[in-house]
């Protein structure tokens, strides 16, 4: 239905026909306009109701005094074709919130992901949806280089029922690992965190807000192309590598070096401790082709770099 008004306050609309051997399904699409009925049945009652009957609410309004939804019936709030929010409403003048909640619990009244229910019990009960909002209003989320660190800062204009923030890090923009969690202040605030072991190249950071009930909301993903100090004492070669890879640390030729290789999830796949001037690691038959992170520790030196295994 596009626009217009259908007003049958004393009549029943039956979606889906089930009379003896005649079985069928029907769909009412409310793209806009207003439909007022005494009763709507989804589907019409009968001995056999195998077919599904639907009422789809986009931007149209459906008002009924009595709502009957059978086992194969459903009312669905649907996003518009341009992905805009459904602006329509379902009003049951002779119903209650508890009755509609029972249909919702049974998944016979549904909404798109990312939306919350909106209730109005002024006259009977009216149900609509709105985009889910997070308990914070984020003003900014920024990354900046500071020597060999990445400084992250974010600002909120307001906070309510906000338990904490979680920061996650990735080197490919897909696989993220936890960096830290920071308790929320529940008022307009500034937050900062320094990541002191970024990797050479592009680093991705995800900011997640967590409600007191455990609900998580991703509020920002940022990336920064970080080039480590060109005078870094750590050399890793060749890169890409195939059979072997060599690690050298200038000024620490005879000291103990711990070399750890992890996959993108942070799982350790290879570790070597050596006092050799050049630590040679054999990769053949140990690592599958792909992207890894090599972590080098020697005294006060701690550095991580991406490596490609061919």
| CATH code (residue 240) | 2.60.40.1220
> Helix, strand or coil for residue 246?
strand
Q: What is the pLDDT along the chain (310 residues), one digit of tens a residue?
A: 565 788 877 888 877 755 544 456 778 899 988 999 999 888 765 444 556 788 999 999 999 999 988 888 899 999 888 777 899 999 999 999 999 999 999 999 999 887 889 999 988 999 999 877 778 889 999 999 887 789 999 999 999 889 999 999 988 888 888 999 999 999 999 999 999 878 877 889 999 999 888 888 888 889 888 776 556 788 888 888 888 999 988 888 888 999 999 988 888 999 999 998 899 999 988 888 888 889 999 988 888 888 888 8
Same domain, 86 and 184: no
List the one residue out of 68, 110, 59 whose CA is nearest residue 87. 59
Angle CA(233)–CA(179)–CA(183) in degrees, nearest 5? 135
Cα–Cα distance measured from residue 25 to residue 84, given in angstroms and rounded to the nearest whole number: 27
Per the CB < 8 A criterion, the answer to whether 42 and 25 are in contact is no
Same domain, 22 and 123: yes
What is the C-alpha separation between 153 and 51, in angstroms, rounded? 55
Verify that 23 and 124 share a domain, yes or no. Answer: yes
Are residue 57 and residue 102 in the same domain, yes or no? yes
Q: How many CB atoms lie within 10 A of CB 138?
A: 17
Residues 257 and 173 in one domain: no
Number of domains the chain is built from: 3
Domain hosting residue 168, numbered range: 136-226
pLDDT at position 105 is: 92
In this structure, are 12 and 98 located in the same domain? Answer: yes
Among 131, 150, 171, the domain-final residue is 131
91 shares a domain with 33: yes
ω into 255 cis (within 30 of 0)? no
Say what the pLDDT of residue 189 is. 95
- What is the Cα–Cα distance from 75 to 241, expressed in whole angstroms? 58
Output the domain CATH number for residue 141.
2.60.40.10
Within this chain, do residues 98 and 170 fall inside the same structural domain, yes or no? no
Judgement on whether residues 196 and 255 belong to the same structural domain of the protein: no
Q: What is the pLDDT of residue 21?
A: 47
Q: Give residue-wise pLDDT tens across range 29-69.
A: 999 889 999 998 887 654 445 567 889 999 999 999 999 88
Pick from 75, 105, 131: which residue ends a domain? 131
**Whether residues 160 and 246 fall in one domain:** no
């Amino acid at each position: 239905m596009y626009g217009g008004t259908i007003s049958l306050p004393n009549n029943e609309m039956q979606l889906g026909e089930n009379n003896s051997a005649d079985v069928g399904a029907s769909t009412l699409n409310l793209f806009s306009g207003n439909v007022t009925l005494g009763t709507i049945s989804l589907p019409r009652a009968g001995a056999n109701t195998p077919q599904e009957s639907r009422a789809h609410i986009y931007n149209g309004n459906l008002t009924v005094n009595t709502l009957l939804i059978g086992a194969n019936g459903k009312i669905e709030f649907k996003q518009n074709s341009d992905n805009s929010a459904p602006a329509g409403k379902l009003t049951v003048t002779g119903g209650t919130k508890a009755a509609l909640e029972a249909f919702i619990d049974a998944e016979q009244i549904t909404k798109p992901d990312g939306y919350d229910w909106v209730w109005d019990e002024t006259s009977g009960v009216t149900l609509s949806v709105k985009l889910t909002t997070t308990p914070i209003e984020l003003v900014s989320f920024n990354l900046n280089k500071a020597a060999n660190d990445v400084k992250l800062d974010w600002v909120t204009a307001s906070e309510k029922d906000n338990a904490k923030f979680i920061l996650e890090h990735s080197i490919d923009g897909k696989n993220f690992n936890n960096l830290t969690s920071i308790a929320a202040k529940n008022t307009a605030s500034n937050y900062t965190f320094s990541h002191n072991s970024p990797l050479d190249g592009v680093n991705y950071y995800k900011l997640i807000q967590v409600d007191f009930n455990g609900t998580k909301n991703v509020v920002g993903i940022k990336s920064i192309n970080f080039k480590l100090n060109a005078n870094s004492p750590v050399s890793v070669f060749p890169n890409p590598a195939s059979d072997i890879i060599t690690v050298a640390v200038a000024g620490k030729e005879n000291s103990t070096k711990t070399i750890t290789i992890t996959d993108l999830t942070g799982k350790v796949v290879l570790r070597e401790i050596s006092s050799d001037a050049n630590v040679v690691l054999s990769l053949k038959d140990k690592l599958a082709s792909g992207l890894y992170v090599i972590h080098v520790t020697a005294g006060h030196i701690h550095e991580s770099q991406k490596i490609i295994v061919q």
